[in-house]
Amino acid sequence: MESFHGTTILAVHHNGSMVIAGDGQVSLNNSVVKHHARKVRRIYNDQIAVGFAGATADALTLSEKLEGKLERYNGNLIRAAVELARDWRTDKYLRRLEAMMIAVNASEMLLISGNGDVIEPDAGVLAIGSGGIAAQAAATALLKHAEALNLTTREIVEQSMKIAANVCVFTNNVVTVEEF
């Protein structure tokens, strides 16, 4: 059976700015089949941005479910995420979905998983996907020196995504960025 691999999604909150980015590569086994996939998108009247890793159809289903929860809870991201995670964990159909999601607004950043996890990071950096570890490490290092290097949050994210693309074969330099 053929399988899709890889993605890198990175979110950084720094100096009152929230930026989320995702690479554009889609791989099928050992081949790149798409270079410009959009794995980060805005939902809920452009007030929330989500980035996803995993099966595309599953991720889009989860994005739609999250948007429904956001509408139900008047844009309360944390409440909507908890309710989505609860449904994801307990619903027979949703449990089979294979994806992870980062959801952000101007001030909150959450990792939502099918295990029922809703995690808000301590350090203002969150990443998922095959290049996630490299992107998160790069962003963490750049954040420590952001003032000295005079880097904006967007520049930290863009540089971190470039680093991830240089070390992860399932991540490319075609990046979608959303900023709050």
pLDDT of residue 86: 87
DSSP 41-103: EEETTTTEEEEEEE-HHHHHHHHHHHHHHHHHTTT-HHHHHHHHHHHHHH-TTGGG--EEEEE
What's the pLDDT score for residue 3?
A: 41
139-165 pLDDT per residue, tens: 999 999 999 999 999 999 999 999 999
Residue in 136, 157, 56, 34 with CA at minimum distance from that of residue 64: 56
pLDDT computed for residue 56 by the predictor: 77
Domains of the chain, with CATH numbers?
4-175 (3.60.20.10)
- Catalytic pick among 7, 8, 153, 171: 7
At residue 55, the pLDDT reads 75
The yes-or-no answer on residue 7 being catalytic is yes
Q: Show the low-confidence residues of the chain (pLDDT under 70).
A: 1-5, 93-95
Supply the pLDDT for residue 4: 44
Task: Give the pair of three-digit tokens for residue 122.
Answer: 């301590």
pTM of the model: 0.92
